[in-house]
Structure 1
């Protein structure tokens, strides 16, 4: 893939980012994708901290992550990111993950909304951001990530959590990575021990806040796939829904 409007960031995988097999975890991959997006913002002089001072920022509303091979300890990877389209308030961020031989080992796509942090509502993307981030219509994954994912009401596996301060980010809501961690924690132990997350397709619906009690619901489907819902205990508030697909190690 050759075009002008991408941003590359290199990483060397560290010891604490490994699982028991010596491979990067799915939550680490998601964290590296977020770090790449943050650096892309920094590269156009609109760092997330600068935006936060203006009480604005980016919020992920839906996304898909596909990992075909997890990198190992000390392995160097490159994450390439770009914007494939914009509307007034939102944009699609594409990602491809390369290994050192430039093989594609993962892909991700996210729909991000520009957000007024204090008013908790979407606002128009700054013109300067659009000018410095020209879009390119190539997609990393051809997938409609606006399509609704049904809520899981009957669960095979349930786990409960308390939202702590370290679960929230500078935009005062639960960080995206926590939702993936909550999903994985509610998975059957046999799956987590013997399979790797291949695809997660998720939708964020409502915010979870510091002090909330969270219920993570997981329901078994066929062929090592699962449906997930994260909700706030004691209410009808659904924070997010997701589908996951797992592969044998």
Structure 2
């Protein structure tokens, strides 16, 4: 892909980021995608910590990640990111993940909203950010990430978690990575041990707060090795996130 309006970040996968097969975990990949976005912000003079000091931040409202394979221990990868479009309050961030041989091993896309941390609502993107963030209208992966994903009503598998302080980030809400971990924990052991997460498509609906107890609800779909997921607050009808996952044999 040849164009000028992208940002590249390189990473070398470390031991504690591996699973028992010596492969990076899905949560690590999501973490590296967020690190790349943070580095991109820093490169234009607007680090996420600077934004926090201005009572502003970015929140992911929907996204999709697809991995053809996960990188190995000590493997060097490059994540290329760019903005494909944005409006006054939100933008679409595209990502392509390359291995050491410049072969594409993964793709991701996210819809991010700029928001007021104290008031917990969207605000216009600062002009100085819009001026320095040019965009390129090429998509990294196809699909409508605004389309609703229905909540699970009758789960086949359920796990319970308490929201601790370490689950929250600088925006004072539960980080996206934690939701992915909660989803994976409710996957049947036979799947999690023998298959890898090929694709996850998720929507973030309401915030979970420190001290909440959340339920991770998972149901099997008709397609083979495919599941629907819901994260909700225990004892209420409040749905925090919904998702669909597809798993492939190692």
**TM bin (shorter chain):** over 0.9
Moved >2 Å (runs of 4+): none
Partner of 2:141: 141
Partner of 1:215: 215
Name the TM-score, length of structure 2 as normaliser.
0.99
Q: Where do residues 57-96 of structure 1 align in structure 2 (5 Å cutoff)?
A: 57-96=57-96
Superposed CA RMSD? 0.4
Q: Deviations over 1:138-172 (max 9, x none)?
A: 00011110000001011000000000000000111
Q: Where do residues 7-86 of structure 1 align in structure 2 (5 Å cutoff)?
A: 7-86=7-86
**Counterpart Cα distance in 1 of 2:134 and 2:143:** 21
**Counterpart Cα distance in 2 of 1:15 and 1:163:** 27
How far apart are residue 184 of structure 1 and its match?
Answer: 0.2
How far apart are residue 131 of structure 1 and its match?
Answer: 1.1
Q: Deviations over 1:175-228 (max 9, x none)?
A: 000000000001100000000000000000000010000000000112100000
**3-state SS in 2 of match to 1:131:** helix
Runs of 5+ unmatched residues, structure 2:
none
How far apart are residue 58 of structure 1 and its match?
Answer: 0.2
How far apart are residue 7 of structure 1 and its match?
Answer: 0.2
How far apart are residue 127 of structure 1 and its match?
Answer: 1.1
Q: Where do residues 1-249 of structure 1 align in structure 2 (5 Å cutoff)?
A: 1-221=1-221, 222-249=223-250
**Counterpart Cα distance in 2 of 1:223 and 1:158:** 20
**3-state SS in 1 of match to 2:149:** coil
**3-state SS in 2 of match to 1:40:** helix
**Counterpart Cα distance in 2 of 1:7 and 1:56:** 22
**3-state SS in 1 of match to 2:229:** strand
**Counterpart Cα distance in 2 of 1:43 and 1:70:** 27
Name the TM-score, length of structure 1 as normaliser.
0.99
**Counterpart Cα distance in 1 of 2:244 and 2:121:** 26
**Counterpart Cα distance in 2 of 1:199 and 1:99:** 18
Q: Deviations over 1:86-140 (max 9, x none)?
A: 1110000000000011000000000000000000000001111111110100000
Runs of 5+ unmatched residues, structure 1:
none
